[in-house]
Every structure is written in structure tokens, then in C-alpha cells.
Structure 1
Amino acid sequence: MVNISKLKCVLRGTLSWPARHLLHTKIQMENWFQNLSVVRKAYAVLPGWELGMVATISVAHLTFQINLWFLVAVSRKHKPMSNGLGALWEGDCIAIDWTNKVIHGVINALSTLLIAQSNFCMQLLVSPTRKDIDNAHKRRQWVDIGIPSFRNVWNEIIDLKRMALWVLLALGSVPLHLLWNSVFIFSPIAYEYLQLTVTEGFVHNMPMSASDGMIQLEGSSEGVGALWPDNLHILQENLYSYERLEINDCKKKYAQHFILDRSDVVVVTKSASTETNTSTVMGGSSAGWGLWPYRWLCPADSRHKLACAGKLLDGGDDWIFPRYGGPKVAYCLSKTMPKKCRLEYARLAAAFTVAANGLKLACFIATYWLLKGKAGGVVGYPNGDCRMQPLITTGDAIASFLEFEDEETQGMSIVEKKDFENGIWDHRWVSINPMIWLERSKCCRFRAIGVRRWLTGTALLSVIPLCPFIFLLTKIQWLREDLGLDKRAISELGLGNPSGLFLIGTWNGNLQTDDSMSINNQKTEANILLSIALANTPQLILSIAFYIWYSHLTVMTAARDYSEFAAPALESEGRDYAPKHGLRVTYPRDGSQQRAAFLFGISFKHWILITILWTALHWFASQAIFFARVDLLSHWLEVTDFSISQVGYSVLGIICFLGVAFLVFLVGLRISVKNISNHMPLAATCSAALSAACHSRNPEVKHHEKRVHWGVEILGEDDSQDGVQGVERCCFTSGTARYPTPGQLYA
């Protein structure tokens, strides 16, 4: 463990008070956590990565059991319909909506946990062993250490078994992203309705002409010539059961895309004279379906515009009916209906989720036994031969190279990652020449990744806000001019609410008329599964982008932490004030000053930041494009062909997603261009550069178990140099070291 009192003395000469205080606090917290009884016991039984893998297997097993038993139970008790959707519960919308939110919260939590554990497992699989690194270095190849690297897979650094498991884990995540979140579906029940415009006498059961007994409906979903389904005399007799709505309430209740708690409405107009002993039926229409479900409320100039609802509400209590000569409306009579919703499940999506869950569980178990079984049994190392243990952190790699030198990188102590990327190894087969140490200045963090890789990752990150921006740009004329979309209409449409106007691949016919409307809505099980997958495709893309960005952030964090090992120049008295750090490793040795790497990768601050941002991004993506499901019932309470079971999108959701995506891009850009001290050769996660910095001239000292720093190793005045008179060497050491001198040669 770190001796705090000694460290204070060491730091006093080199660091400012805030820096000393922060580092002191950080080390105290690490010591406190490492000394917790439960932590020590857990790591005593399952050291290093084994504890994480056992936790991963436990979570996957629990999730698999929940999903499997759910699928078996509901398949027996709630048989799905021909479209593959089964009704779990039908009842009060508020209760079902909250239940649906809780279920999706649990699913998102389990999904996030399972995918995070999957990424952890994939990082273990691509983490090279010392044997893998030695073989690669002999071929003049370097490997990534400490990150979930696709490069290690592509270059075949790892063996075929680990490669196969890595591919299976990656493929197993696809169904979880595309389907799991839509296994449970909230399905409201909406009503088509009939609208009738009458005079006051009709309400008071005054007689009407014989021709008014049946009335032709405008805009009926049954086609031209459709009549009112019941005799109007029957309707007249039943008006006592209808609820009276004042003008503003009537507008608000019916100026909606889907009506959930009402059906037929009778609009009562004010009589032009005091004569009320006769009934006049002015006309009727069918509504509540199609692109413009409340078009009967709107005047001709805004009948096919989204601004209609806003204009209606602005009119207050003064309502001139837009048809039949413009009579003035007195009030409405509305038929109330039970407000019901369903909680449904998608059988095929659930089946694929269970299969993917089972595949992940099998891969997790196989990974554990594969990595655990690789070691042979060398005393002093957990679970066997240290050369067969995966090097998960850069601290693991440095400790390994300090304990067992890598001859392939001798004499290259100031070479950095960029040099290996540029092929320095190709020119160093015969001789190794000393290199000049140049004055170093601060540099942007993205240099640790490599400019080309960083540009690729940044381009992918920029696509996330670019796609919704281009989508809105291509739709802007249609939205503004054809639909009359404005700020008020966007707000009224809401966030993530389904609308007949904003569905993908649904409507055929002329958008600006009521004629020839039909719906392309084949509700087969396969089509619904494809719609669910399409609606969740943004989630998959976001997860891929997150995987790449997380890898880049891990590299930048590793480069920043690595640079902190640099020793400062010695003062005139020869005293060394360089702060030394214990290496952060997976398996800390008993009695050593190594630190346990409980969290691999990035700082807690950055982890919190990107978790919040990416969670918001995923949620807004689900509100921007989603699987829309609404059962639309006819006058006879039968499900109509205008029910919705396909992909929908929300303009407000897309705008919100665009804003958050742009913020994520700016945050990613800001982190990338921040400076690091760059005091040391920029090794990042490059195995060759890390190895080159680990050639001590005093190898019998167990540097890897002590606190170390990097610089020119000082053994004494008479110590020999490295084959060339006057040439010194830079390396990690637990002894005395100073910062290299610009312009001087180092081997």
C-alpha cells in the first residue's frame, strides 16, 4: 500500500498544493477501497478478471432465466394472434402505461448491464497474453493493450478460439439491440367516430323528414356512398346518454390524432329563428382515421394543415362551423367510451431475445474456462503461467516487461507509438542506433489514438447528428408548405407520439385529399418483427459508435496516465522529487506496491459524463423513431384496417435527438483536443512502445513490484553505458531517475 506520509514529502517539491491535495485524496480513497473486508475476501477467492467474469456469468444466467420462463409462461397462457402479438393485459391506460415504463426500465437496466458485461468479456478476449505479444513482436507487429481492440482481432493476434468467441459475442448483441426493447408493447385502443351536425330541434326529439332518417357520410373509411350505420331516429332517442361538451372542450377533445375515450359526436348549431319544432340534419362525416382524423373541424384553407388545431383553439367560444353555410355552433354531445389499453408482447422478438441471451451466457462461460484453463501452474502467479494470463491494462504490460525483458525492443527507449505505426521496425533488423531526445511540448489527446483512426471515429460520431439533420432538411418543404408545420404544431404533436402523418412506408394516395386513401399495412408476424428491428436500428448504430468512442477515450486516458510517470529534472543537490506510482495491475502481488485495477479504462468523471450523455441519446432516439402500435375500432367496435403496427417518427423527437447528438459530438471533440503534458514518448496502448520503455540497467531489482517513474536511470558515477560511450538509457525504474536532456542521444 502507498505510504502517505512519505509521498507528501516527495510531492512537496514538484507539485502545486491543489495537485498534491487531489492526488493525496485519490490515493487515500484507493487504499480505503482496497482494504475493505468484502473487497479483500472477494479478490482472495476470485482474483483479477475472474471476479468480473463470475459477476458477468451470474447476470447473464439470471437474465436468461427471466426471459426463458417469461416466454414459456406467456406462450401457454396468452396465445398470440396471427400477427405474432399476444395480449398480456387489457385495462386502465394509466396503470398499463406505468407498468410498461417499469418493465422497459428493467429491460434497459438489464440490457445495459448485459451489453456492458459483454464488452468487458470481449476486452478480455482481445487482451493479448505475453506469449501473444512476444510472437507478434518477432513478426514486427505491435498489439493494443488495455482497450477493446478490433485491431487485435483483424491482425489475428489472438488465437482462433478467442476470435470465434469474440465474433459470437458481437453477433449476439445485435438481437438485444434490435428486439429486446420492443418485446413489450404499449398498445392504446382508439375509436373511429361519426360526426353529425344538427339543429337544436334534433336534440329535443322534434320530428324530421323521412329523407333524414339515413344520411350519407362524407369521407367515410368505407368509401363513397356510405350511410350512417344506424337509423337517426335511434340516435335521437339515445342522445340523453351523451355527454354535453361546451365549445372549447369539444374542440380540445376531438382535435386529436387518436381519440381514446370517445366516439360519435353530435354538433348542435344555433337556430337562425325561434322555430324549434322541427329537426334539421345538416350532414355527417366519418372521422378519427387516416392522415387528417379531425378534418371535419377545420375550414377549407387549413383542412389539410397541422395548424388547424391551433387556429381552432384560438377561436375561443365563438365557433363558426366550416360547412353547411357556416352555422354558429352552440355545443356538442359526445358519446363516451371506456378508455382501454393493452400490454402486448411480440412472440418472435421474445424468442430471438432468449436465443441471443442463451448464446451470450454460453460464450461467457466458455470465455471463463478458456482463459482460466490456459495457465499451467507456475508458483507465485494466480492460476498458473504469467505468460498465459491476459494483459488487460497497460500496467499489466509494463509489469510484465519489467520482470521479463523483451529483446525485440532493446535500444529503443525513446521510441513512441507513431514511430512503430510509421514502420520503424522495418529498418532496425541489423543495428540499433541511439536516438536524439527532442524538446517535447504539449499535444492534443487524439494524437495518442493516431490521426487517421481519430478522424475515422470523429467522422462516425459526426454522422449521429448529421443523419437527423439531413432527414429534416429533405423534409423541410413538405413539413412547412404542405403540412403547415410550425412551433406550435410541433409542440402539440408531442414527443414520441404516433401520428398517421409520420409513419414510414404506410400510406398510399393523395396527401391533400380524402379520396383514394388506402393503407399499406400487412400485419404479419414477420413484417412486425422487421418493423421492430427497423425502429431499433438507431440503437444498434449508437452502440457501435459508443464502442468505438469508448475505445478512443480509453486510449487517450491511458496516454494521459502514462505521461504522469515522467521524472522531472534533478535539482542541483541531486535530490529526486519525482512522484512515483505503483503500477495499476489486474493481479497485485502480495506485499508489493502495485495498485489493483478495479475499473478498467477511463476515469470515473468521464464514465459518468458519457453514461449520462449516451443514455439521453438512446432515450431520445427511441422517441425520434419507434414502433407505433394503435388498434383503431370502428363504429361496431371491430378492429379496422387503419390500425397502426409499423415504424413511426416524431418531429419533436428528431429535433431533441439532433440537439443531444450535437452536444455529444462537441463533448467528444473537446475531450479529444484537450492537451496532455506529453513529457514521455507517446506510447498509449502500443505494446512495442511500452516494451521499449522497460529495459532497466538494474533488472535484478523487482521494479514491477515497487512504485516507479520513467526517466534516465542513475546507478552511480562509474556505471557502464549501453555499448556506446556516453549514451544513456531511459526506462521505468523504482530507483533514482532524471528527465532526459534535449539534444542528447539515448539508447
Structure 2
Amino acid sequence: MAFRKLKRMGSVAHGALLGNDSEVPYQKPRKFPAWKVSVFYGIGVAAFVLATNIVVLAWAKATLPLDNGIAIAYTSSCKTSRSVTVWVDLAINILSTLLLAASNNCAQILSSPTRADIARAHGRMKWLDIGVPSVRNLRIIPVWRSSLWILLFASSIPLHLMYNSSIFSSRQSHNYNAFVVTEDFPNIDISHASGWISGPILQTAKLQRNFSGLVRMSNAECLRSYTQSQFLTDWHNLLIITNAKLPSGNAIANTYSGNWTTTSGAPDWPCAGFKTTIDAFRFEPEQHFLADSFGVSSMFGLVNKTLDSARTELTACDVSNLINNGPSWTLALASHYNVTGRLKAAEVQYCLAEAADRSCSILINTTLVWVVILCNAIKILCMVTTTCIRDFVPLVNIGDAIESFLTQPEQDTARLGPISASDAWKGRPAHRKHVEITRTVRVGRSRANVASRARWTVCIIICIALVVIGLGLVISGSDEKRVWTFATFNPNNLVRFSLELSVTANVILANAPQLAISFAYIFYNNIMTCMVMAGEFAKFAYRRKPLRVSRPKGQQRSTFWLSLPYKYSVPMLSASALLHWLVARSLFFVQIEVRDPHGDPVASAENTGNDDYSAGFTGCAYSPGAALAALALWIAFITTLIFYSVKRLHPGIPVAASCSRALSAASHCPRTDMDAATLPLQYGIFAEEDDGTLYEKVGFSSGSVEPHNRCLPYYQYRSGPQRSKAVTETHLLSRYSGRDEHMGRWIAPSDQSQLLNPQQSARYTSARRELEEDFRQRLGPYGGSSQASSVQIQDEVELMPIYSPLAEGSGQNNAYPLNHFVIVNGQRVFNYR
């Protein structure tokens, strides 16, 4: 709610709670109130998002092949597909942010109280929120409004959990065979190879004769490319060239399958050296080789009673050491398939790798799109219903509330005097006072005190949880096996346990942070709105401004937002969309399509994991770079909130925040100021005559006011016509409990004879001095001022309010009460609570 002029004729509306000065032209009445216009805009945004989703769904069903509700929308190189996926995700997050902003706008309007709701709440000694999203109001507002609010809220949850995963990417993972061959392999005719090589392996081996299509790698490059991930996406079958000496005509010494891994998830074939093979298997010459004992050729399997434990010992293989010692990489081989003698060492010279088909696909989950469309339609229905209800006049901002209370003042709050939101939150009554206070330095309360402790607590808990999650993703990216990526998929960054989950579970896992961020943003926006409203409300104390209301009259102003002006709401929405996109690229849903060594799809039954798709499996992957960017942006969110919360408010007006009772108590004006609500207003002390006596009051006025920098008597109002009467009659001590200040204990009414009376002049004078000194200590000096406050107390004083707006601006913790004790007819009394 910044102070900006409303420029007509094509310019945007002003961003102020109030106008800019008193010389404001009268506003032409609008056909619709501003809140209804904002809902119309929201309906337009929601309809655009709905139309976009319907077009995507219709295109997928009409033109794309479907397999269990999954449509392949685009297939290209992985580099191109990654770029398309990033932009598609950005578009989804922009659309979802706009849709959720429109939904939250309508939900806030539905929860905004009408004047009848406020009267009902105040009659129950409760208060309602005005100008901020509120849950507490749902207990008071009519059922139809609370039902629409619940529908809007409930329809947002599936959007958060599913929208980002409705369009996702697919990547191929290649099973492969690794062939250990001799250096003369290119020149050997393998058409008559030994029979131990199966047909498919022999067929694959023949393909490797095409050396022109193979990529030569050093030992370290070979190990790094084939062992960094269990899922191979860039390479296919492999030739391992060794210096092995085989019988004439034999060129293939061994074959390994990339399907078999150690318990750590790395392939086991690089570990087929003497240390990890002979020692681990406790090799003995009389033992026999057993074909396929490890899913590979007979040249590798060993069988004895310790076979299972031997397989476990493969975890001892340190691939990183092999990479560092690449030039001395050796494999343990036998000279012939039926030899029962000892293994021989074969030194690896280099590798020849077959480049894989690096194509990726963008898929559309039509089932999730259906869910998104349904939630979208529910939101539009709720918005349309909101605009069609007659006789619904919500007080959507504090300008509406002040106008309503000035036009039809509440008699009960007129007797309270100016109270703060904290008084209403804690249920404190505001009694009467007649103490004059002047001070040289006045310090306002920080804006952090405006929002309730519950709002701050929930917001802080969610913020800390999100920071911890972000740090976890960033730290996990520092693992040497992980690949530092930004917003892209790498098989090394798969969330392993997600591969065993169903599609639905993976979708929820990938989008759970989105839901958490949305909840945090709701509380963040709520707190920011409270602080901005309090800042603009405080400006009434020193600037004369017209009210900003939903349906302007006279010199009132109108805007199409609720409580946050564009200079706050637009950056917050933009940053929110960016944050949601970064989070979507930090942890995202992927599908992995498995290909066999021949390049054919592998049926899902052959894979570990779930069988939701005809081939491959699903899981979640994360990007440490995107997680770091999201974490930095979220910390910037938190830092902005903290810096704004420490700013202090102008102390000349109670901190009403969004509290309806505090706003009602502050919104009183002179009886002769009939059109005050339509004119520029200022808060302060004004004089009003009653029965020939001139009294000073605190409230709003379109006329001249004195700054509210001193305490005044509070007044009662009789029922019927509004007339003021100063409370000067003696209050019976039986209505109060006394307190022996020196003994620190409560005094029952029967013991009030212990209290002072004017006849005990010496003790009475001493008590008067003690009281004045106590006030000086409580009220001054302020802000480092060395000059104490001046306190004057009459012999007969009225009961003082438990908390004064001046005391709240003291900057002291908990705003120490002014009326810790007072003197009534010479007796020292503690107010009854």
C-alpha cells in the first residue's frame, strides 16, 4: 500500500491505502466494486489456464500415440529435449502461479468479513481479520462462503502435487556387454568362435567389428564412463583390449554383463582383477569354473560353499583407485573355457566404446492433466459464484473497514478508546485514564510485532524446514559420485529409493517441496500484508489522506488489489514463480527407458522397480545447481522479510494491524463531521463540545487534529443518540482488587483498609511521589533520551487503560502497562482484570 497518485485515462491505479494529498478530485462511482473487478480478472486468468490445459490434452489424445495414459509429445537429442523441458516447466510454473494468485485473491475476499459478521463476532467478544488472508474468520462467516473457501483451498493441493509432473522427460538407459579381447581382435575371424559364447553375445560381438563407429578411450576414461552410474545413458557395448595370449583363432577372452553390479551399485566387471577375484574367492586349483554363476561367461564364475559371501566381497572393489591407477588395470582371465588351472593376469591396453543413441523424449501424462483441468474448473466455478452472490459487501481492506466504522460507529468500541491489536488478541479491557504525558523522543513499535506469534511461528518452522531440505540437496551434490548440474537430468543424481516407488508416489515425492513452499508463501504473504497495512495505517497519524476503498465515493480512492500494492505484489509473485520453477528443476520426476545390449526395449517385468509403463521405470532426480539457486532465492525471501519487519511504525496511532476490534475502536470521528469517510482524513486529537463542555477525543477527522502524543480521558457513550460524558464519578473499591506493592502480594477487598487515604497526608504524599517516579521510569527516557517524562496526577483520577498506544511505542519488551497502580480518591489501587 504505497502512496502513489491515481492517474486516470489509461494509467494504472495508485498504490496507496490513501490518496496523495487533500486536493483529490471526486471519484466517479464504479459499476462494480474493486474487489469484484479483481475476481473478474482472476476468472479471466483461470479461464486462460484452463483453455491452455484443454488444448494440450486434446492435442495429446488426438495426434499422439498413448500407452497407459502416457503420450510421447517430442523426441530429439537430449540436449534439445533438456532445453524444451526447461522452458515447458517455466511456462507451467508461470501459469500455476497466476492461477493460484487468482484463487488466493478470491479466497481472501470470501474470508473477508461483512459488517454483520463483525457485529456477530464482537457480540461474542471475538475479533476478525480484515485485509489479510484469514482462517479464523471461517468460524464466523456464513457456511456458503466458508465452503467456497475450502473448495478453493482443496483444489490447490492437487495442482501443487501434479501440475509440474504432468509433462516430464524420458531418458534411455542402456544395458551392455563388455568383451575382453586381444589386440589382434580386429584381424580375427570370429565366425567360428568357441561354443561357450551364446548366440546373442556372438551377434553383438560381430557388430563390434565395425571399428569405424567406436570411440577409443584410455583406461581411466573407460572406467569413469562405465562405472559412475548404474544407468548408462551415453554409451553402449564395450571392447576391452588386453595383452592376453589366447590359443590360435580365439580373440574373445571373456564377456561381462553391465546388468550385474556390486552391492554399492557399481558394475562388477572392472573388479575382475587378481586382488578382488582370486583373493576374494579364496581360489584353489582343484575348484571348477561354473558357467553363469554370476550371469556372465564360464570364464569368470567360481563355485564353492562361500559363493554368496564371495559375491559380497566385491564391495571391496574401489573403482576410484582403479581410475587413478588406470595404466596398470589388469583383469584375471583363464586361457580356455574348460581350463581348471590358475587364472592369468591380462593387462588392459585401452577400450573401444560404442556411442549410444542419445535421444530423449518429452512425455505427457494425460491422467494428471485431467486432474489439473478438474481443479482448474472448480476454481472458476467458485470465482463465478462469488461474483454472482447478491448483498455480499465484504470489508476487504482497512479502508473499507474505516469507512464502515466511521459511517456506522460501534458503541461498544467507542467506550474503549484507542486500543492496539495486541490488546484485542489477549482480551485486555481498556479502562479509563486521566494522566497527561509528554515526551521528547517517541519510538514506534517494530513491524514484526504486528503479525501474531502463531503466524510467525508457522512461517519460521516451514522456512527452516525448506532451508534444511535445500542444504541437503546441495550437500548431496558435493558427493564425488554426483554430477553438479543445473536444472537438467543426470543419471548419477537419481534418488535411489524412488526407483522402487510407484508413479503416484514419485509424483508426490517430486512435488512435495512445491506444496511446502506454497504453504510458506501463504504465511509469508500474510505477515508481509499485515506489516504493510500497519505501515500505511500509521501514516494517518502525520499525513492527511483519503481512504482507499472497494467502491469509492467523494474523494476516496480505489485500486484493483486487496491489501498489497503492485510494488510489493508483482515482485513477490514474480519471485514466487521463479522459486517454484527452480524447485521444480531441483527435484523432478523422470522416466528411464531400459534398452538391452541390442538396443531393443526391455519389458518392465525384466527390471527391478515398478511396472507402470511398458518398458523402463520411473523415479525422481535432483539437480544440485538448481537447488542452490532455489536456496539462495529463498534466503533472499527470508532476509527481505526480516529487514522489513525491523522497521518501526509511527508511534502516534495504535497498532491495529488487521484486528477488527482495534480498527473499530480507532475509527471514530466528531459527530459534526458527517462526511468524514469520503474526505481526506488524519488521526489525532480533536475537540468536541457536549452540553456546553469542550472535551478532547482521539480518532479520525477531516478537520484539524492535534498529534496524538499525550494521553487523554476516555469517554462513555449512552445508548441511543451519540453523546459523550466524562467519567468522573468515584469508582467503588469493591469492584477492584488491590495489591500491596511492597509485599508483592494480592490484597483481597476486605483488606483494602491497608491502602492509603488522603487523611494520612505524609504517606499519601510519599505514595504520590512513588507513583510519579514509577511513571517516569516506565515512560522515559526513550531512545537514549536523558530527559524523563513529566507526569501530573490529580487527586481524583480515573482508571487508566491497561496498555496505552504510547507505552506500546516505547520499544520496551512487552510494552509495560501504564496502570500498574493508580490513585483513586487517594487510595492506591490495582485495576481489576
TM-score, normalising length: structure 1: 0.76
Match of 1:9 in 2: none
- Residue 323 of structure 1: how far off its partner (Å): 5.4
Q: Quote the Cα distance in structure 1 between the aligned partners of 2:12 and 2:447.
A: 37
Q: Quote the Cα distance in structure 2 between the aligned partners of 1:166 and 1:398.
A: 25
Q: Quote the Cα distance in structure 2 between the aligned partners of 1:540 and 1:194.
A: 43
1:179-578 counterparts in 2 under 5 A? 179-205=162-188, 211=194, 213-215=195-197, 229-231=200-202, 235=206, 238-240=209-211, 242-247=213-218, 250=222, 253-257=225-229, 258-270=231-243, 279-287=250-258, 292=265, 296-297=269-270, 308=319, 318=327, 320-321=329-330, 324=333, 327-370=346-389, 373-374=390-391, 388-424=392-428, 433-434=432-433, 441-467=443-469, 488-492=480-484, 497=489, 499=491, 502-503=494-495, 505=497, 520=500, 527-567=502-542
Counterparts in 2 of 1:581 and 1:415: CA distance versus 1, 3 Å: same
1:668-687 counterparts in 2 under 5 A? 668-687=641-660
1:142 is the counterpart of 2:127: yes
- Residue 358 of structure 1: how far off its partner (Å): 1.2
1:52 is the counterpart of 2:38: yes
Q: Which has the higher mean CA deviation after the structures are superposed, 498-507 or 557-566?
A: 498-507
* Contact preservation (8 Å) 1:402, 1:704: yes
1:587-666 counterparts in 2 under 5 A? 587-589=551-553, 592-607=554-569, 610-611=572-573, 613-636=575-598, 637-640=600-603, 641-642=607-608, 643-649=616-622, 657-658=630-631, 660-666=633-639
- Residue 98 of structure 1: how far off its partner (Å): 3.1
Aligned with residue 692 of structure 1, among 662, 665, 668: 665
Q: Quote the Cα distance in structure 1 between the aligned partners of 2:87 and 2:316.
A: 37
Counterparts in 2 of 1:356 and 1:237: CA distance versus 1, 3 Å: closer
Q: Which has the higher mean CA deviation after the structures are superposed, 338-347 or 166-175?
A: 338-347
Counterparts in 2 of 1:164 and 1:437: CA distance versus 1, 3 Å: farther
Q: Quote the Cα distance in structure 1 between the aligned partners of 2:590 and 2:166.
A: 13
1:132 is the counterpart of 2:100: no
Aligned with residue 708 of structure 1, among 681, 693, 697: 681
Post-superposition Cα deviations, 1:644-677, rounded to whole Å, max 9, x if no partner, equal 3133445666566555545544443333333323
- Residue 535 of structure 1: how far off its partner (Å): 1.7
- Residue 116 of structure 1: how far off its partner (Å): 0.3
Q: Quote the Cα distance in structure 2 between the aligned partners of 1:601 and 1:108.
A: 24
Q: Quote the Cα distance in structure 2 between the aligned partners of 1:285 and 1:341.
A: 27
Greater percentage in helix: 1
1:71 is the counterpart of 2:57: yes
Post-superposition Cα deviations, 1:448-500, rounded to whole Å, max 9, x if no partner, equal 1133442333233323224556x689xx9xx8xxxxx8554444577663547
Structure 1 unmatched ranges of 5 or more = 1-22, 216-226, 375-387, 480-484, 508-519, 522-526, 568-578
Q: Quote the Cα distance in structure 2 between the aligned partners of 1:195 and 1:491.
A: 24
* Contact preservation (8 Å) 2:233, 2:491: no
Match of 1:585 in 2: 549
Post-superposition Cα deviations, 1:58-94, rounded to whole Å, max 9, x if no partner, equal 2222222332343344234445324x42323334333
Match of 2:159 in 1: 176
Match of 1:738 in 2: 706
Instruction: Give the residue type in structure 1 aligned to 2:689.
Output: S
Q: Which has the higher mean CA deviation after the structures are superposed, 645-654 or 107-116?
A: 645-654
* Contact preservation (8 Å) 1:96, 1:341: yes
Counterparts in 2 of 1:240 and 1:369: CA distance versus 1, 3 Å: same
* Contact preservation (8 Å) 2:484, 2:623: no
Q: Quote the Cα distance in structure 1 between the aligned partners of 2:356 and 2:169.
A: 19
Post-superposition Cα deviations, 1:156-211, rounded to whole Å, max 9, x if no partner, equal 2x111111100000011111111111111111122111111212111222679954
Flag the structure with larger Rg.
Answer: 2
Structure 2 unmatched ranges of 5 or more = 15-26, 277-312, 334-343, 609-615, 716-833
Q: Quote the Cα distance in structure 2 between the aligned partners of 1:610 and 1:261.
A: 41
Counterparts in 2 of 1:306 and 1:61: CA distance versus 1, 3 Å: farther
* Contact preservation (8 Å) 1:242, 1:333: no
* Contact preservation (8 Å) 1:57, 1:365: yes
Instruction: Give the residue type in structure 2 aligned to 1:52.
Output: S
Counterparts in 2 of 1:588 and 1:140: CA distance versus 1, 3 Å: same
Q: Which has the higher mean CA deviation after the structures are superposed, 191-200 or 648-657?
A: 648-657
Q: Quote the Cα distance in structure 2 between the aligned partners of 1:235 and 1:172.
A: 58
Post-superposition Cα deviations, 1:681-704, rounded to whole Å, max 9, x if no partner, equal 110111111111121124444222
Counterparts in 2 of 1:322 and 1:657: CA distance versus 1, 3 Å: farther
Counterparts in 2 of 1:493 and 1:135: CA distance versus 1, 3 Å: closer
Match of 1:383 in 2: none
Counterparts in 2 of 1:173 and 1:149: CA distance versus 1, 3 Å: same
Counterparts in 2 of 1:434 and 1:410: CA distance versus 1, 3 Å: farther
1:145-160 counterparts in 2 under 5 A? 145-153=130-138, 155-156=139-140, 158-160=141-143
Q: Which has the higher mean CA deviation after the structures are superposed, 660-669 or 554-563?
A: 660-669
* Contact preservation (8 Å) 2:455, 2:523: no
Counterparts in 2 of 1:107 and 1:305: CA distance versus 1, 3 Å: farther
Q: Quote the Cα distance in structure 2 between the aligned partners of 1:143 and 1:443.
A: 22
Residue 198 of structure 1: SS of its match in structure 2? strand
Count of paired positions: 637
Instruction: Give the residue type in structure 2 aligned to 1:162.
Output: R
* Contact preservation (8 Å) 1:498, 1:628: no
Q: Quote the Cα distance in structure 1 between the aligned partners of 2:503 and 2:444.
A: 54
Match of 1:13 in 2: none
- Residue 55 of structure 1: how far off its partner (Å): 1.5
Post-superposition Cα deviations, 1:503-549, rounded to whole Å, max 9, x if no partner, equal 35457xxxxxxxxxxxx46xxxxx31332123211111210111112
Counterparts in 2 of 1:322 and 1:88: CA distance versus 1, 3 Å: same
Q: Quote the Cα distance in structure 2 between the aligned partners of 1:327 and 1:493.
A: 37
Residue 529 of structure 2: SS of its match in structure 1? helix
- Residue 283 of structure 1: how far off its partner (Å): 2.2
* Contact preservation (8 Å) 1:348, 1:529: no
TM-score, normalising length: structure 2: 0.68
Q: Quote the Cα distance in structure 2 between the aligned partners of 1:266 and 1:649.
A: 32
Q: Quote the Cα distance in structure 1 between the aligned partners of 2:97 and 2:207.
A: 57
Instruction: Give the residue type in structure 2 aligned to 1:627.
Output: F
* Contact preservation (8 Å) 1:214, 1:232: no
- Residue 611 of structure 1: how far off its partner (Å): 4.1
* Contact preservation (8 Å) 1:557, 1:603: no
Q: Quote the Cα distance in structure 1 between the aligned partners of 2:142 and 2:490.
A: 49
- Residue 112 of structure 1: how far off its partner (Å): 0.6
Instruction: Give the residue type in structure 2 aligned to 1:416.
Output: S
